[in-house]
Amino acid sequence: MGKIKNPLEIAVAIVEDDVPAREILASWIRNADGFRCAGEFDDAETALARLPHEKPSVVLFDINLPGMNGIECVRRLKPRLPETQFVMITVYEDANHVFNALSAGASGYLLKQTRRNELIEALKDVHAGGSPMSSQIARKVVQNFYRNETQDAGGETIELSPREREVLELLARGYLYKEIAEQLKISVLTVNTYIRRIYEKLHVRSRAQAVAKYAHLPMGATH
């Protein structure tokens, strides 16, 4: 008989074509308290067909898959699995891959050399509403916040207040709303108000979209 599903456990699926890497990740998840492995897939096409039925809490997604790549698969899956959090785990750390993944609907971006404890903490973080990123990736994102304004796709200037930029920067670093409130010494209600204004100004509906849009325009020295 298979293991009985515990609704309190964080169900994590893995999409990774490298067999040894996939087996290691699956082993880490199975042996972590409060987690269960909700499926292992070696290509995007199989994941696209089966994950909507599995409805995992989190999916670890490799980018460089045979056939359809991981970013495109996440882009197609996110509308079908709006409650599922997607975390890219890859060797790529260039800005374009990061921002494309976030724009597609990913909530986190980790490098494959991430250690077991860090990965498990990242899965807990994203399940709680955070946006975990490897430190190298977070630095690349944050570097793009040190400017006074940006433009949207239509050329309209978008101006964020200094406080709004502070809130958005902390969002990019993966802070939870409560942690942002503590960091800035404001209430969670005030944080929610700032985030609502940020979303309205950037014409986005999620943390990942806000981070991707604001950090990506303009790219500047990250090209």
CATH of the domain at 202: 1.10.10.10
Q: Tell me the C-alpha distance between 127 and 193, whole Å.
A: 22
Domain count, the chain: 2
The answer to whether residue 1 scores a pLDDT higher than 70 is no
Residues 122, 161 within the same domain: no
The pTM score is 0.66
Whether residues 206 and 111 fall in one domain: no
Rounded CA-CA distance 44/50 in Å is: 10
Whether 101 and 74 have beta carbons less than 8 Å apart is answered as: yes
* Stretch among 91-95, 137-141, 150-154, 219-223 having the lowest mean pLDDT: 219-223
* Mean pLDDT within 55-65: 94
> Are residue 78 and residue 109 in the same domain, yes or no?
yes
64 and 14 Cβ atoms separated by less than 8 Å: no
Residue in the block written with tokens 């399940």: 127
* Amino acid identity at 222: T
My answer on whether 126 and 179 are in the same domain is: no
Question: What's the CATH number where 77 sits?
Answer: 3.40.50.2300
- Residue 89, helix vs strand vs coil: strand
Q: Do residues 126 and 160 both lie within one domain?
A: no
Say if residue 143's pLDDT is above 80: no
Query: Which of 23-37, 111-125, 203-217 holds the top average pLDDT?
Result: 23-37
Same domain? For 187 and 85 the reply is no
Based on the fold, state whether residues 153 and 116 are members of the same structural domain.
no
- What is the residue-averaged pLDDT of the chain? 81
Of 136, 171, 190, which one is at a domain's C-terminal end? 136
Whether residues 130 and 152 fall in one domain: no
Nearest-angstrom CA–CA distance, 82 and 205: 12
Examine the fold and report which residue of 85, 101, 136 is the final residue of a domain before the chain moves on: 136
- State whether 70 and 179 are in the same domain: no
Which residues span the domain enclosing 182? 144-217
The verdict on 71 and 114 lying in the same domain is yes
